Amino acid sequence: MVVTRAQWPHTVEDITASLDGIWGLVGALGTSGNLLRLERSLHQPLVYTLIEFDGKDESKVLNKQTFTADERDQAVNKFAQALGF
């Protein structure tokens, strides 16, 4: 079985750089073939939301998890694992 990983992000550092950036958002196709998006809230309280969509269809949410600011590393790790890192 061939596992194809999305071209962006390449590393966990890429994920954190995107979250810390102006938009606070990173997305990629996971090993499941589903689109994943990890986003940081733009207002207080600071939360991170990990969303898994059905395939590439952003109108069909399969799973949505919210993490507190203290759980940021957990959110990043879960996103990275879903990408096959």
Task: Provide the domain limits for residue 68.
Answer: 12-83
Residue 7 — pLDDT band, cuts 50, 70, 90?
Answer: low
Between 15 and 9, name the one with better pLDDT. 15
Q: Kindly tell me if the per-residue pLDDT of 6 is higher than 90.
A: no
| CB proximity list for 84: less than 8 A, separation 6 or greater | 3, 5, 30, 31
Over residues 24-67, the pLDDT tens digits come to: 999 999 999 999 999 999 999 999 999 999 999 999 999 999 99
Assigned domain for 78 exists: yes
Assigned domain for 4 exists: no
Provide the domain count of the chain: 1
What's the first-to-final CA gap in the chain, in angstroms?
16
Between 72 and 4, name the one with better pLDDT. 72
Q: H helices within 1-85, ranges in order?
A: 12-20, 72-83
pTM: 0.86
